[in-house]
Amino acid sequence: MNRTIEMSNDKQHAGIQPRTANDIERHKRNIRTAWAIGLFALLVMLTSIPFWQGLYRIATSAN
């Protein structure tokens, strides 16, 4: 995979460059987990707040 080659050329990454199939699998899992938590944070912001309700109100009450 392109991505992996690019990472191994990156000096700063040398310490954690994926070396084995296991490492690559872990790298993917890290990114998957990160997205899951990030989307959850977004969900928290969007749902816990009557933000869209208010936006809806301006959107419908204008003119």
Partner 1 sequence: MSTATLAPANDHEHHGPPRGMRRWLMSTNHKDIGTMYLIFALVMLFLGGASAMLIRAELFMPGLQLLEPDLYNNLVTNHALIMIFGAVMPAAAGLANWMIPLMIGAPDMALPRMNNLSFWILPAAATMLMLSFVVPFFPGGGSQINTGWTLYPPLSLQVGMSMDFLIFAIHLLGISSVLASINIIVTIFNMRAPGMNLMQMPIFVWTWLVTAFLLILVVPVLAGGVTMLLFDRHFGTSFFNAAGGGDPVLFQHLFWFFGHPEVYVLILPSFGVLASIIPTFARKPLFGYKSLVGSMIAIMFIGMVVWAHHQYTIGMSLAAVSYFMIGTIIISIPVGLMVFNYIATMWRGSMTFETPMLFAVAILLMFSFGGLTGIMLAVVPADMQYHDSMFVVAHFHYVLLPGAVFGLFAGVFYWLPKWTGNMYDERLAKIFFWINVIGFNLTFFPQHFLGLAGMPRRIIDYNIMFTEFNMVSSVGAMIFGLSHLLLLYIIIKTIRGGKPASARVWEGANGLEWELPSPPPFHSWTTAPQIK
Where on the chain is the footprint of partner 1 (CB under 8 A)?
A: 10-16, 26, 29-31, 33-34, 37-38, 40-42, 44-46, 48-51, 54-55, 57-58
Q: For residues 21 and 37, which CB has a smaller minimum distance to partner 1 in the complex?
A: 37
Give the shortest CB-21-to-partner 1 separation in angstroms: 15
Task: Pick the closer one to partner 1 by CB: 1 or 40.
Answer: 40
Kindly report the number of other CB atoms within 10 A of residue 40's CB atom: 10
Tokens of 44: 């928290």
In angstroms, what is the minimal distance from the CB of 2 to partner 1?
16
CB under 8 Å to 17, separation ≥6 — which residues?
Answer: 7, 8, 10, 23
Instruction: Report phi then psi at 55, rounded to 5.
Output: -60, -40
